[in-house]
Homo-oligomer: A and B are copies of this chain.
Amino acid sequence: MITFRKAQASDLPAIVAMLADDPLGAAREDASLPLAQGYLNAFNAIDADPNQLLAVAVDGAEVIGTLQVTFLAGLSRKGAWRGQIEAVRVAGHRRSGGIGRLMVEWAIDQCRSRACGLVQLTTDKGRADAHRFYENLGFTGSHIGYKKSL
């Protein structure tokens, strides 16, 4: 029985381990314990922000997936709220079992319940599996996502 809920501080090591267990994340993250202070600071900022929802998928007591939803107010589209999904990860030993799909559908429901008119996300151009995954969920890859490191 897989359920979804807001993440708690005690979920952080499992979440960071999933972010690091990824071809792109491996070079960017540090899942060693105790976790780097940056992760704790970021969790506290997310947790305190009513427009942020860091979520986990759990099977019993085990954290098996994570994602982050940000609810964004904006003037465009006559002032429509948008939901933005990021950092979607499923634990390595549970991939290809449909958990990602359930989790993203749950996230879309959260956006609906906040009256968002649109859900948006970006994925690296190299993640071909992710592109099929989001297209199957009804997303359209209509935009180019630009990044600049500071």
Residues of chain A touching chain B, judged by Cβ–Cβ distance below 8 Å, are 12, 15-16, 19, 25, 28-30, 36-43, 45-46, 49, 51-52, 54, 68, 70, 72-81, 86-87, 108, 111-112, 116-125, 131, 134-135, 137-150
Contacts and interface: CB of A to CB of B under 8 A. Distances in A.
Nearest to A66: B75
Given A73-B49, A147-B140, A78 B125 contact: no
A79 B54 CA distance: 13
A146 B125 CA distance: 11
B146 A123 contact: yes
**Secondary structure call for the A interface:** mixed
Nearest to A50: B49
Q: Considering the complex of A and B, which 6 residue pairs feature the smallest CB-CB distances, nearest first?
A: A143-B145, A42-B79, A38-B79, A45-B73, A139-B146, A122-B143
Given A119-B150, A125-B143, A142-B146, 16 more contacts: A25-B76, A29-B76, A37-B79, A38-B78, A42-B80, A43-B75, A46-B73, A119-B147, A119-B148, A121-B145, A125-B144, A131-B144, A135-B146, A139-B146, A141-B144, A141-B146
Contacts of A30: 78
B139 A41 contact: no
Contact of A29 (B45, B77, B117): B77
Given A125-B142, A142-B125, A145-B142, A150 B118 contact: yes
B123 A143 contact: yes
